[in-house]
Amino acid sequence: MKSKQNLTSDTSAESLYSLRIKDLWYSFKAEHMSFWFLCLYFLFEYIRPQVIYPVINFLPWGMVMLMMTLITVFMNPTITKVKNPLNKLLILFAFIVVLSGVFAFRPATSWKFTEIMLGWFLVYFLTINIVNNEKRLFLFILAYLLFNLKMAQFGALNWVKRGFSFAHHGLNGAPGWFQNSGEYAIQMLIYGSLAIAVVIPLKDHWGKMKKWFLYMLAIMGFFAVMGASSRGSQFALAIIVVLFILKQKNGLKGIFIFTILAFALYNLLPEEQLKRFEQVGEDYSSLQRLAYIEAGIEMIKEYPVLGIGYKNWIDYVIYKYPEGLGPLQMIQVCHNIYIEAGSELGLLGLLVFLLMILFAFINNARTRRMAKKLNNKFFFSVAYGLDAGMVGFLIAGTFVTVLYYPFFWIQITMIVMLNNVVTKTYREKLQQQTAVENSNTASGTIPP
């Protein structure tokens, strides 16, 4: 039996695939403290224990953990520079956010929200630099899924308990980013896509009971989406399920399983929810969103370069449309991430946002090519899971104002993180092959 010392120093990523708690714990303990603080940051942002237990809510724990990560990262000897086109695009986007704030309709409003974009900027660069090898990647993804699992099981079980019925209030996640039903549903799309992508390549490492138990935990995310009663997210879920079916390499068995899942999810939709889909484009909610889109397009025409200013939508709508917008004469956020980017940051901001989306998919495509050459099913599958989560966000984001929520920024962070680890692994393999070939040539040995 391995000693504790051997487990902490020698455990490889592949040896963790069986998900033995002891091995995972010792591997996590052996990591640098900057990795610990990074994981704690995600715990406090996603589970929000400080809200669940008010007795510990005496510090801004998320920001504290992020600052501790920033401080300790300079003590981490394994940090190397990560090169990726998304790095430059993110810096350019942040610069546009600053410029739009300077020339905003109301600059003071923009400066109130600087912490949000600064936070995602720090999270992105800290994560891609700290999570820089296969073992850390595996541990980080498991931690991320675990932090989301609490929300997933809560939503799925609540939907089951109410008899798969429709509820106008939907479901709610942890207080903060995911409290509202629409935002909660998007996070569950991302969680479900990634969780299934992790389970599929690792299932052969587990016994039958463990495999199906973990499949159930993964699918809970999609059940939570159904219970959240968000039309945009449910439509995105349908697209994601189709993508998973099309990408199945397991033959008829895999296609059959996902087809049954798609059929079951559709038939579990309550009648009230089906009626809501039939009324798309005609109900007050749809007409209200169309009014916001029209107003946003007018803003882009009026301020095409840098927009009305970062986070200035509400201020500008109150000024320009004091009587309100749409059939309900309401003043709300724009309910569309593309209109949000274009109206507040201008065509420059919208263009860079679209370029970041494009390069996110390019990154995953490159990751899969290298993973295929490495014959690494885990890398290959996770890249597809991140693609599916991104698709879910881009579709569901057409109906909600969530550009500066964690969804997109954490998604591109994990995409670049994965690409960097796979690139390093691939280069190391090429170097090893070159060294062996050079050694064989020098010794006169003919390689097999």
pLDDT at 186 over 90: yes
- Residues 27-47 have pLDDT tens digits of 999 999 999 999 999 999 998
Q: What is the mean pLDDT of residues 380-386?
A: 95
Confidence of residue 154 (pLDDT cuts 50, 70, 90): confident
For residue 143, the model assigns a pLDDT of 96
Q: Which residue, chain included where needed, has tokens 């990634």?
A: 194
Q: What pLDDT score was predicted for residue 1?
A: 38
Nearest to 412 by CA among 36, 133, 90: 90
Q: Are 339 and 296 in contact (CB under 8 A)?
A: yes
Predicted pLDDT at 283:
62
Q: Could you tell me the residue ranges of all domains in the chain?
A: 80-429
CA 8 → CA 5, 40, 77, 170, 358, distances in Å? 5, 20, 18, 44, 39
Residue 119, CA distances (Å) to 417, 436, 437, 439 in order = 17, 45, 47, 49
pLDDT of residue 5: 36
Beta-bridge partners for 325: 330
- Residues with Cβ within 8 Å of 92's Cβ and at least 6 positions away in sequence, in order, are 352
Q: What is the mean pLDDT of the chain?
A: 86
Residues 6+ apart with CB under 8 A from 397: 186, 232, 336, 337, 338, 403, 407, 408
Is 80 exceeded by the pLDDT of residue 58?
A: yes
* Separation between Cα atoms, residue 162 and residue 176, nearest integer Å: 25
Percent of the chain with pLDDT over 90: 56
Establish how many alpha carbons lie within 13 A of residue 270's alpha carbon, considering only the half-sphere containing its beta carbon: 17
The answer to whether residues 233 and 170 touch, using CB atoms and an 8 Å cutoff, is: no
When comparing pLDDT for 155 and 263, which is higher? 155
pTM recorded for the entire structure? 0.88
End-to-end CA distance of the chain: 36
Q: Token digits for 185?
A: 């549903």
* Per-residue pLDDT tens digits for 398-416: 988 999 999 999 999 999 9
* Rounded average pLDDT over 63-72: 96
Alpha carbon distances (Å) from 286 to 158, 230, 274, 292, 444: 27, 13, 15, 10, 74
pLDDT(268) > 80: no
Query: Residue 276: which pLDDT band, with cuts at 50, 70 and 90?
Result: low
Environment class of 299 (CB within 10 Å of its CB; exposed 0-12, middle 13-18, buried 19+): buried
pLDDT of residue 7: 36
Nearest partner of 225 among 192, 179, 177, judged by Cα: 192
Q: For position 431, what pLDDT does the model report? A: 85
d(CA 91, CA 98): 11
